[in-house]
Chains A and B, each alone.
Chain A
């Protein structure tokens, strides 16, 4: 069974631009979560979607947003990019109906801001 797929794998943007990252969960998984990984702050939770609804959100500014489609695929968008947004963005999926189920991660999108 195919794993979690994130596209693109690498992105280079400049300050002030916006970016959209994509995540395709494992077939049958309805929950998608997003995380930011940086050397300084580690792994931080961005938000989680289940059946197209955002169920939980981390402490990130409003520039970070996401959505989920009816096929469970998810996108996250970052507007007005800042140098500090350079990070590895990880997506994870799970079945989602019951809490605390194991989450399966993609290999991430590495975003570099120049």
Chain B
């Protein structure tokens, strides 16, 4: 079975500060990795994904994530956040063996202070 752990349920940061949202996963098979963002009162939107190749993945809105196989982690980073980044962020995996069913973490609420 697979599981995704987002270590922080809430992360408050000041505007223009860097941020890292942590994600660890557990799986007996290889997985594809995703980060989704959910702005208030909206659905989830794909931020970035890791399928294969370079372990550093760049996404929309200046976000990037690094896949670390030995640590089974896929942390999300942004060097300088804006008020508009206020949202909930979900880490997710799709195991190779069940290519169509995604498993989500519980989410991290990012709040930006001016």
Do the two chains belong together in a single complex?
no
